[in-house]
Structure 1
């Protein structure tokens, strides 16, 4: 339905330096079928139950802007062609409609009065449908001014015709009529003038009363230039709008309802394909408790807009969130609910949704080249102007720095295949052909018409797109962009591991095997990982509209006090925390590679000040920390301020932050020493003792252990710390830091280098003897003085290599049934890990020949005295084993007469020609001579009757 789409995100909002990823940072996500996608280091928090007030993002009031006499927050709401017909075909509901647009002079004269009358009557909603879908000549009621050939006009015109024939012209006395043969305008099949521009529609009214009430008379300024005329007109409006009780249709009703309906129609199996797209109770929480309503539909942040509204939006100041896509599109369905959720989570007022397919109401049409109302395609069809592609081109001219998966020209770097939209400004095919980038849907971007980057206009401030920096994190090479074309079952399963016990859950149409294969599992996990990455990009776009992610700075290692006589040097580790989640999949959109991931670094710098003096500045590393050091200046006794200032990162997506702490300058210095072992084995453990200057009191902290600092209160000048047996193998630099008291300044001991060695492991296994075709099992047990061994063991030497995880120190392997007869040396190897040495053992594995399951000969064509016959010979092998091979002998015996035929099996069977035989009953026996895997065997005797 929609090709995969992607592009590099090179806007200033998301431009950040990339550094080569350190070796080994890739995180393997699925080492075995039971493992799924690991949680990232900075996983997204669960959705809150109470969202902030919507204060971020710009909004538009189209009717106030387009109509001089309409004030803000009017009763009017636009309806696209899709939404208009969606309401017309509803089996129930009574809706107030206003037909026309800002281009209609009569509507300009009356719409303000209609708004006044509707408000006075307590009417909340009047839906406005403009048959000029572009606000100009693309008018489904009258295509005479449309700059397309007749086939293009006819395509557009059919939708006005259909509205009249299927809905608006049903009433016996309807004022909606079409031109008839013989009328001057019949060639364009337009809707006749004089149809009601304000009416109430009731689909349940059948063919006699669908239009409950309406106004058809077009008013001019002269018709409304007295108070009496105005009052009379308002009374008419009130009469129409109050003729029956009206039904409201919200953006939730339309967008959520249509996405759910279409997804269920496309993919009725929720187990495999997910759904619903929008869930009123679970996925859209706002306020409330269990058992109570938790979502206020009026708080729905998505708003469908028309083409004129989009063009107006693109000319307005402020930061906008725009979702390109449609309810017809399964790729849009994959991200639309999460986009709306993030909008509420980050306090975004509106996300405006626009569909390049202007006739989405027509479910017989696709988004392909044959649909002339899909404006994101070429203007010329069969060399003729049949599509209003200039409308799409006009949008992309304003989205001037948007990036896409497809190239516009062959000379562009960093994008994929060449596939632009070809259009002519204003539809004038006599002009120059122009090229526009093809945005695939669903696609979310943020927009500010006044934004600049590098001194150039850059109105697209961010896009949810995989760019070349993610595709090539170590080099940043511009090899291509990928738009996040995902699926509902990918995004709904984005955080789920694969469960072999429930293999169909959210697998879509992906074949995973039965039982599931590792390749099938990896493909599902990689699809989910790609979707998870895409959702994080969507989240980043929304968070950017809200001003970016907050951050916090913390610091460890700073002295609490120093002596005035010699303040000395300072070395501090500053940490930065932020909701920014740079997780991404190393495997892209899918494939069978083992799932793995990495993280975009937070980046930015931290500055350290003492009072107003800058001591040091350092970059934030991949671990989101920065090490700061420098000599402290001369300080007076008393309290001073240490200030840590984070610059912010990721091109402004992560906001800066500041942290302050007190530094006490006291009279006396102190000395701290540390005694600790220099070598330990993993699982051994030990103790360390710190000694501080006599007379000092307070706390001492042992630093350098991976579990974090340990703090103990001094007793008689000493503090003893336990070094845990679980300390991982490796090297550690231990220091003891004294916090100081009212008299003694803080101090730090000289470091003690501690090395923790790996622990010994021992592998044990027993030999196995089995019969060909039966398979077998090999078990290995790993033991260690450090305790139970965990990790993977690899079996080689008996067929393809296998790897299994240890459970309780034991791993069991199933040797395949088709392993050939022979004696094997099975090697079971534990590679070890960061804390354990590797070990291995070799044992004998013997496979003895097996008897075939059965030997049989079946006469397919009985021989005669004049013609040869046919016998089918089969030598059955055990299930799962290789077929028998080698020779078979057919013995035909009648009395003392024997005939012998020899043949060679092919895949366990052969059709054998037998010679002509004398009339009578012959005895047929098949003798299988055996092969390397199977012993010899004979068939049962079969009678062969030769009749002539």
Structure 2
């Protein structure tokens, strides 16, 4: 290993790097880039997982395949070995980023030997839970050298073939002491000896080691010693596109079976594919898991450069992404080192775990949980060609799934995950829900839906894709087919059509993510307008999408019959809904049709909805109404009720329905609206409340029907509610003439009810009216001029809406009133020769009759007296006395009363008689 440059050289290189970055040096790399595309989620992994980094750092992850690829390439590369779970990486990466940017180093590649970001460390497999296979193997077969040994060999190869080809080898598989930052050049020598590591930095750092300015400066000087060991302009970063182009082309063209380019095609990728920005980005397993936890729309290509089926489509995946303006299609390889998918390779995680217990310790041959947990956690609704046991139970066929131990826990019960073949394109959004509201994170997949309920993944070849538009009989890019024979010509065209369909499917999936949405229409046929109860009618559904016409092949890829191609119809599911309830669901055939058998129908008019649930983002859901009249068995209902009722007494009405009928009966005609009651043992009972207002009611019972019997109605039943009786009591105290008499009338109703309304008093001499109060009483005041005597009166209650009218006779006695004062008016004197005249008055209350009747006037002087009688008229009378002798006479007047007044008190006066 070369020594790191001294500080003066480091400063000179820093200045040179700064000048180069300024663009003042001829040959400085251009920094112009195409404007970012507008569609899809772009995740800055380093910004997300490292606290010390922001967006746009110099780092880029590399898979172990790409790491080894770079180690083989000429040029100079800067590498950082570490991961977010490493405290030293977290503490140092921000400083490395700052120094790199300061020096003008555009790219530092980040590699972690922990292929899963955790325990699957190719340099330390002690926590991996892997075992090395044997022959014979506890899991069956010859597994010698497989499993853990394969990962160990992979880790060893990185050291022996690349990293330790150095004058002073330093890599020992110990992350605490091994170099973690280094500059690499496979062609660099020192004294004629290989010296690939030009400069490096080893040892761990913690956050507390770098928490002062002095410590930070000292550390960044060390970083600068490494990254500045060569001029920034001498770094030769190779893009992800260059890596994929090189490896895709190498693996295709160096395959012996594909040597004839006229039959199998030559290079797959060329520089023109990146003219508008290469869109496919490989990611590591930790990156993929992180990616699937992020919001937004994410397109994914599963597959690797080792896979001829992935190589077949990668060019068109990139093209379609460019055309649709998709920023990035993320690419992940289930073969962690991109070796292949052989059942003997433990690096291929999409295969069974094969656990075995040796000496009481259970370990697995393959870390299949990385695949199983990934699929069942994040891609739970993905569909595949190969079937799990659950799929086989529904669809038949045979099981071909990945058996794994969740979380790598050897004590856990094994589970199965659907096996995704590669290359496979799908779009993902962790928050996506389907039209029924169910979680559906896999928004869409490029896959063929078969009419048997299963799927076919588009395992095609590059030469078929490249020649997909060639005419029949054209032998170019024909692979091994002999187009001279009919079977050979047909076979080739079927393969080409299958490949063309594969690209069309990818176009639909990515187009949907890019907003290429197409409307759909649902047509329903085959259902009669009326069906009997219990029928299970079949609905014929057809879904179309005007304007959406992707290519489709209707033969299998390997068919030798004449090709059958056309326009793909919408795929997905249709369902019949009763409101929000799903009654039945079916998958559309490739013709865009489905037959749905409804469950046994209950009677009534049905308003169903037939809904197409859509496909991902490309085909919108749609629906059509389905009206169905289900004729029930005829039913009858009769009503029986009481004889006429009296208000205040409750009764019942009974509706009798056809034997065996269930459900409810509605009774109408009573005040307050219709009421319902359940049918129990063939009858429904209703109460006529005690408070029902008297009257005549026409009641009708309506049976609502049930699952078997149709609705029916009864003939009307008349129920009469009569008014109840009421009783009166009349009471009046006697009064004197001139005093108003008060008559108390009390009315009582039945059942404790208080009647309302008015009471009228009538008689030969009176008529008066009063209103009943809240207690059913009325006090009626008679005129005060009622003559003396006993007056017979009749109280008549007029009744109200629930009480009958009633009457009662009583009497009022009026006795004579006491008169007012009697007064005698005499002259001042009178001569003896003349007759004196005196005036007698009897006072009475205003408004009453004036007093009448006899008055006796008696004059007395000594033993002599004279008496004169007279009769009052209008309360007054003038009495002429006889001639009286001279002297003073006593005059007394006594009123004897009349028909209205009692006798009054005697009034006195003195009369002087003179000569």
Tell me the TM-score range normalised by the shorter chain. 0.5 to 0.7
Aligned match of 1:408 in 381, 384, 388?
388
Aligned match of 1:653 in 586, 594, 618?
618
**CA–CA separation in structure 1 for the residues paired with 2:72 and 2:372:** 32
User: C-alpha offsets along residues 271-302 of structure 1, whole Å, 9 cap, x if unaligned?
Assistant: 00013111323xx37xxxxxxxxx15xx2111
Aligned match of 1:237 in 223, 234, 255?
223
State the partner residue of 1:253: 242
> Is contact 1:536–1:581 with CA below 8 Å preserved after alignment?
no
> Is contact 2:186–2:196 with CA below 8 Å preserved after alignment?
yes
**CA–CA separation in structure 2 for the residues paired with 1:490 and 1:319:** 30
Distance change in 2, residues 1:118/1:51 (3 Å):
closer
Does 2:482 match 1:484?
no
Distance change in 2, residues 1:448/1:138 (3 Å):
same
> Is contact 1:465–1:537 with CA below 8 Å preserved after alignment?
yes
State the partner residue of 1:826: none
Once the two structures are superposed, the pairs formed by residues 856-935 of structure 1 within 5 Å of their partners are none
State the partner residue of 1:543: 511
Give the alignment's Cα RMSD to 1 decimal. Answer: 2.9
> Is contact 1:213–1:240 with CA below 8 Å preserved after alignment?
yes
1:208 offset after TM fit, Å?
3.2
Does 2:468 match 1:494?
yes
Distance change in 2, residues 1:343/1:231 (3 Å):
same
1:417 offset after TM fit, Å?
3.2
**CA–CA separation in structure 2 for the residues paired with 1:649 and 1:307:** 31
Once the two structures are superposed, the pairs formed by residues 584-663 of structure 1 within 5 Å of their partners are 584-601=552-569, 652-654=617-619
1:239 offset after TM fit, Å?
2.4
Distance change in 2, residues 1:529/1:460 (3 Å):
same
Does 2:264 match 1:264?
no
1:498 offset after TM fit, Å?
3.0
State the partner residue of 1:931: none
State the partner residue of 1:517: 485
Length-normalised TM-score, structure 1: 0.51
1:193 offset after TM fit, Å?
4.3
> Is contact 1:494–1:528 with CA below 8 Å preserved after alignment?
yes
**CA–CA separation in structure 2 for the residues paired with 1:424 and 1:314:** 21
User: C-alpha offsets along residues 766-798 of structure 1, whole Å, 9 cap, x if unaligned?
Assistant: xxxxxxxxxxxxxxxxxxxxxxxxxxxxxxxxx
**CA–CA separation in structure 2 for the residues paired with 1:217 and 1:248:** 26
Query: Which structure's CA Rg is the greater one?
Result: 2
Distance change in 2, residues 1:192/1:67 (3 Å):
closer
User: C-alpha offsets along residues 607-645 of structure 1, whole Å, 9 cap, x if unaligned?
Assistant: xxxxxxxxxxxxxxx999xxxxxxxxxxxxxxxxxxxxx
State the partner residue of 2:90: 108
> Is contact 1:301–1:350 with CA below 8 Å preserved after alignment?
yes
Does 2:352 match 1:378?
yes
> Is contact 2:443–2:617 with CA below 8 Å preserved after alignment?
no
Does 2:478 match 1:507?
yes
Aligned match of 1:118 in 81, 100, 105?
100
State the partner residue of 2:159: 164
User: C-alpha offsets along residues 120-154 of structure 1, whole Å, 9 cap, x if unaligned?
Assistant: 11111100000100000100111111112255333
Does 2:499 match 1:531?
yes
Does 2:413 match 1:432?
yes
**CA–CA separation in structure 2 for the residues paired with 1:216 and 1:94:** 19
State the partner residue of 2:375: 396
> Is contact 2:520–2:619 with CA below 8 Å preserved after alignment?
no
Once the two structures are superposed, the pairs formed by residues 314-393 of structure 1 within 5 Å of their partners are 314-360=292-338, 365-380=339-354, 385-393=364-372
Does 2:403 match 1:422?
yes
**CA–CA separation in structure 2 for the residues paired with 1:99 and 1:261:** 27
**CA–CA separation in structure 2 for the residues paired with 1:415 and 1:542:** 31
**CA–CA separation in structure 1 for the residues paired with 2:396 and 2:425:** 18
State the partner residue of 2:549: 581
1:87 offset after TM fit, Å?
0.8
**CA–CA separation in structure 1 for the residues paired with 2:175 and 2:149:** 16
> Is contact 1:406–1:415 with CA below 8 Å preserved after alignment?
no
> Is contact 2:307–2:422 with CA below 8 Å preserved after alignment?
yes
User: C-alpha offsets along residues 684-739 of structure 1, whole Å, 9 cap, x if unaligned?
Assistant: xxxxxxxxxxxxxxxxxxxxxxxxxxxxxxxxxxxxxxxxxxxxxxxxxxxxxxxx
1:548 offset after TM fit, Å?
2.3
Once the two structures are superposed, the pairs formed by residues 686-705 of structure 1 within 5 Å of their partners are none
> Is contact 1:416–1:481 with CA below 8 Å preserved after alignment?
no
User: C-alpha offsets along residues 394-415 of structure 1, whole Å, 9 cap, x if unaligned?
Assistant: 1112100000011111644347
**CA–CA separation in structure 2 for the residues paired with 1:541 and 1:414:** 25
> Is contact 1:52–1:347 with CA below 8 Å preserved after alignment?
no
> Is contact 2:405–2:414 with CA below 8 Å preserved after alignment?
yes
Distance change in 2, residues 1:460/1:252 (3 Å):
same
> Is contact 1:403–1:437 with CA below 8 Å preserved after alignment?
yes
Aligned match of 1:462 in 425, 444, 453?
444
Once the two structures are superposed, the pairs formed by residues 679-758 of structure 1 within 5 Å of their partners are none
State the partner residue of 1:58: 41
Provide the secondary structure at the position in 2 that maps to 1:450: coil
User: C-alpha offsets along residues 235-285 of structure 1, whole Å, 9 cap, x if unaligned?
Assistant: 22222112222111101111122101111111222100013111323xx37
Distance change in 2, residues 1:510/1:193 (3 Å):
farther
**CA–CA separation in structure 2 for the residues paired with 1:401 and 1:648:** 15
> Is contact 1:378–1:421 with CA below 8 Å preserved after alignment?
yes
> Is contact 1:321–1:445 with CA below 8 Å preserved after alignment?
yes
1:53 offset after TM fit, Å?
5.6
Hey, which bits of structure 1, 4+ residues long, moved more than 6 A?
Answer: 550-553
Distance change in 2, residues 1:53/1:385 (3 Å):
closer
**CA–CA separation in structure 1 for the residues paired with 2:404 and 2:355:** 11
1:217 offset after TM fit, Å?
2.6
Aligned residues: 503
1:436 offset after TM fit, Å?
0.5
Distance change in 2, residues 1:529/1:52 (3 Å):
farther
Distance change in 2, residues 1:507/1:598 (3 Å):
same
> Is contact 2:40–2:513 with CA below 8 Å preserved after alignment?
yes
Distance change in 2, residues 1:309/1:243 (3 Å):
same
**CA–CA separation in structure 2 for the residues paired with 1:597 and 1:192:** 58
> Is contact 2:187–2:194 with CA below 8 Å preserved after alignment?
no
> Is contact 2:265–2:462 with CA below 8 Å preserved after alignment?
yes
**CA–CA separation in structure 2 for the residues paired with 1:427 and 1:552:** 45
Distance change in 2, residues 1:142/1:380 (3 Å):
same
**CA–CA separation in structure 2 for the residues paired with 1:413 and 1:405:** 14
**CA–CA separation in structure 2 for the residues paired with 1:415 and 1:97:** 51
> Is contact 2:312–2:465 with CA below 8 Å preserved after alignment?
yes
Unpaired segments ≥5 residues, structure 2: 1-32, 134-146, 358-362, 522-543, 573-589, 593-611, 623-915
Aligned match of 2:264 in 273, 278, 289?
273
Unpaired segments ≥5 residues, structure 1: 1-49, 178-189, 286-294, 554-574, 605-621, 625-646, 658-948
State the partner residue of 1:225: 211
Distance change in 2, residues 1:84/1:276 (3 Å):
same
1:366 offset after TM fit, Å?
3.6
1:359 offset after TM fit, Å?
1.7
> Is contact 1:379–1:386 with CA below 8 Å preserved after alignment?
yes
Provide the secondary structure at the position in 1 that maps to 2:223: helix
> Is contact 2:346–2:366 with CA below 8 Å preserved after alignment?
yes
Provide the secondary structure at the position in 2 that maps to 1:520: helix
Distance change in 2, residues 1:175/1:585 (3 Å):
same
User: C-alpha offsets along residues 919-946 of structure 1, whole Å, 9 cap, x if unaligned?
Assistant: xxxxxxxxxxxxxxxxxxxxxxxxxxxx
State the partner residue of 1:155: 150
**CA–CA separation in structure 2 for the residues paired with 1:506 and 1:552:** 37
Does 2:72 match 1:98?
no
Provide the secondary structure at the position in 1 that maps to 2:444: strand
Distance change in 2, residues 1:467/1:312 (3 Å):
same
